[in-house]
Amino acid sequence: MNRPANTPERAAMIVAWTAIILGFVARTWALSQRGSLWLDEAALALNVMTRGFGELLAPLDWGQAAPVGFLWLERAVAWHAESPETWLRLVPWLAGVSLPWLLWQLGRRTFGTGAGALAAVAGAGSLLALRYATEAKPYASDAMVAAALMLLTLHVRESPHAHRRWLALGAASVLGVACSLPAIFVVLTVAVVLLGDRASRTSRPARRVGLPSFALALAVLALLWFTSYRAGAASEALRAYWAPVMLDITADDRVVRVLRVFMELAWVPLRWTGSLVGIAVGTALWWSGLVLIARRRATDALLLGGPVLVAMAASAVDAYPLSDRLAFFAVPGVWVAQAAAVVGVRNAQLSKRSVVANARMAAVFVVVASLALAVWQFTDADRFLRAPGTLEPTRALFAAVDDEAGTTPIYVTARAAPAWLIATTRDGWRENPRLQRWVALAGRANAPGYENADRARALRPMEGDSLVVHSGARTELVGLAPGIAYRVAGAPSASAPSPGWAAEEARRLLAAARPTVWVVASHFFPGTSRDELRPLIEAAAAAGLRVLEERRAGDDVLALRLSR
């Protein structure tokens, strides 16, 4: 009878390891093809590459915020690179390839091997997980840290008197809060879970290792808050950007905000689309899975779902935004619960069958359900895997323009500035006068060239004339911000650039042309009503400039050579 009983476990293990291996292959392929950093990545990369470890404690430029530990890891990996794109993505890639394995371990320990296999498949094939694993941002590592803390907590509970397990959990808690902003939500949940477990609470290692470790984790977070995060949290620009995804239950659109949270946790990680039906189905699976897990062990359900509750409480007091990116840390717990719900359906159907029939049908169910999930997710992830490098492929084009321009001035639109600097910096990152000048003109929220600056007024005459960077033979015109501030969700601050912006920038182009001038642009929303380049080129044509040459790299990366 042992053989049939083990059949579903063997099938689940095969499914899980197939997903883990394929997830590794897919992420490695995507990493090799990603190429240029897109706007948000490039903005963070400029901070990493131009600062030392101590300087990374200060508020970041270019509208960025990130955990100090993550920034230090990125700096340690990429400090030597002239072209840092792949190096900066290594840490997220490592986090991303480990996630399906962590999900397999979490699922099998909380609801059995079937749930573990399905959770591993979900993590391996998710478009969101694939993309975050190949972006120089902390979202993949947030999820990895959360999943690792949950798994180490289960290890401690299994052997509460094992000092090594407590040491591993303690070290992970301290490092986690340094490397992941939302890790504190998981650490607080872990503390409650272990306090609720008598064997863990009363063990000697809990007093000697666990309690000091949790206290140290809180101390590290407090130190980082006062030395680094507090100033960033007070930034009006960042607060305005994230405001639409705070869980403000007094806001007029509170219903939309609540629905958005459930969409970003229960549906978007499975399929990157907006769907009310998807929200309902994903949330129903999530909650029913937590109920099924709680029936087996209530603290397991708390471990998986508690971080979401803590994050929602923080968001309700305007302390943590819950967008798809920043909520991704909690997705491992959601995926495991959803997998448990699916397996629970199977268990209910098989409860009246014989042991042999149960074993065979359970194995078939795991394989079929996993295949169905993988195929369904692939139809979504395929749009990313087919061409991972098509998102703002700026490096080759921008570097070529820089090489060929000689003494011809180059106008850089505000939203292209981070990618332009990443592509054209060849003379060292630290203590670079050119980069320092760029930061002063465009890298800070109050700078005239800051890409997401809001400007509710018309431009003054000659307002942008001082926005010039000279370095050797190169002359760069720093583009004035169009005056449209985008938020993480909802409508931007304006539907068109500030009055007079296009005409003023066209005047600058005409004055700089000798007789030609280059214009480089990216992230300008081509083909939409928000296209920021079109009014500029139309104004330049009206001023007497004509297009001599046009070069494209993707839909929203463009270089134009204009002539008098």
Taking only the tens place, the pLDDT of each residue in 128-182 is 999 999 999 999 999 999 999 999 999 999 999 999 999 999 999 999 999 999 9
> Is the model more confident about 187 or about 358?
187
- Confirm if 101 and 483 have CB atoms less than 8 A apart: no
pLDDT at 357 over 80: no
What's the pLDDT score for residue 362?
Answer: 82
Q: What angle do CA 454, 459, 465 make, to 5 degrees?
A: 110
What's the pLDDT score for residue 6?
Answer: 76
The SS3 call for residue 468 is: strand
Average pLDDT over residues 177-190: 98
Estimate to the nearest angstrom the gap between the alpha carbon of 432 and the chain centroid: 28
Q: What confidence tier does 484 reach under pLDDT thresholds 50, 70, 90?
A: very high
What does the alpha-carbon distance between residue 321 and residue 241 come to, in Å, rounded to a whole number?
Answer: 10
Instruction: For 141-153, give one letter per residue: b (16+ CB within 10 A) or e.
Output: bbbbbbbbbbbbb
pLDDT at 2 over 50: no
- Confirm if 560 and 518 have CB atoms less than 8 A apart: yes
Q: Is the C-alpha dihedral spanning 560, 496, 523, 89 positive or negative?
A: positive
Tokens linked to 37: 């950093």
What does the alpha-carbon distance between residue 475 and residue 455 come to, in Å, rounded to a whole number?
Answer: 26
The residue behind tokens 């323009």 is: 401
Pairing assessment for the beta strands 474-478 and 410-412 based on DSSP bridges: parallel
What's the pLDDT score for residue 555?
Answer: 87
pLDDT at 520 over 70: yes
pLDDT at 482 over 60: yes
The residue behind tokens 């295949």 is: 371
pLDDT at 359 over 80: no
Say if residue 230 is exposed, middle or buried (CB neighbours under 10 Å; 0-12, 13-18, 19+): exposed
What does the alpha-carbon distance between residue 535 and residue 539 come to, in Å, rounded to a whole number?
Answer: 6
Mean confidence (pLDDT) of the chain: 94
Measured CA distances, 10 to 137, 239, 362, 364, 549 (Å): 36, 50, 11, 11, 62
Estimate to the nearest angstrom the gap between the alpha carbon of 303 and the chain centroid: 23
Of 72-81, 236-245, 359-368, 391-400, the range with the lowest mean pLDDT is 359-368
* DSSP conformational letter for 237: H
What's the pLDDT score for residue 354?
Answer: 53
pLDDT in tens, 258-282: 999 999 999 999 999 888 999 999 9
Q: How many CB atoms lie within 10 A of CB 433?
A: 11
User: Which residues are within 8 A (CB) of 103 and not within 5 positions of it... i.e. 6 or more apart?
Assistant: 116, 119, 120, 122, 123, 147, 332, 335, 336
Q: How many CB atoms lie within 10 A of CB 540?
A: 26
What does the alpha-carbon distance between residue 161 and residue 140 come to, in Å, rounded to a whole number?
Answer: 32
What does the alpha-carbon distance between residue 415 and residue 428 come to, in Å, rounded to a whole number?
Answer: 23
Q: What confidence tier does 64 reach under pLDDT thresholds 50, 70, 90?
A: very high
What's the pLDDT score for residue 4?
Answer: 42
Say if residue 354 is exposed, middle or buried (CB neighbours under 10 Å; 0-12, 13-18, 19+): exposed
Of 39-48, 174-183, 282-291, 521-530, the range with the lowest mean pLDDT is 521-530
Identify the CA nearest to 185 among candidates 324, 316, 95, 305: 305
pLDDT at 1 over 50: no
Average pLDDT over residues 22-39: 97
256, amino acid identity: V
pLDDT at 337 over 70: yes
Cis peptide bond upstream of 515, omega within 30: yes
What's the pLDDT score for residue 363?
Answer: 85
- Confirm if 507 and 465 have CB atoms less than 8 A apart: no
- Confirm if 288 and 341 have CB atoms less than 8 A apart: yes
Q: Which residues pair with 546 in a beta bridge?
A: 563
Q: Is the C-alpha dihedral spanning 390, 396, 400, 402 positive or negative?
A: positive
What's the pLDDT score for residue 528?
Answer: 83
Task: Write phi, then psi, for 519 (nearest 5 degrees).
Answer: -125, 125
Q: Which residues pair with 411 in a beta bridge?
A: 477, 519
What does the alpha-carbon distance between residue 94 and residue 28 come to, in Å, rounded to a whole number?
Answer: 10
pLDDT at 352 over 70: no
The helix (run of H) or strand (run of E) holding residue 475 is strand 474-478
Q: What confidence tier does 355 reach under pLDDT thresholds 50, 70, 90?
A: low
Task: Write phi, then psi, for 388 (nearest 5 degrees).
Answer: -65, -20
Of 276-285, 336-345, 361-370, 423-432, the range with the lowest mean pLDDT is 361-370
What does the alpha-carbon distance between residue 449 and residue 482 come to, in Å, rounded to a whole number?
Answer: 9
pLDDT in tens, 280-330: 999 999 999 999 999 999 999 999 999 999 999 999 999 999 999 999 999
Q: What is the dihedral of CA 144, 150, 154, 157, to 10 degrees?
A: 140
What's the pLDDT score for residue 117?
Answer: 97
Is the pTM here over 0.85, yes or no? yes
Share of the chain above pLDDT 70, in %: 98
Say if residue 531 is exposed, middle or buried (CB neighbours under 10 Å; 0-12, 13-18, 19+): middle
What's the pLDDT score for residue 7?
Answer: 78
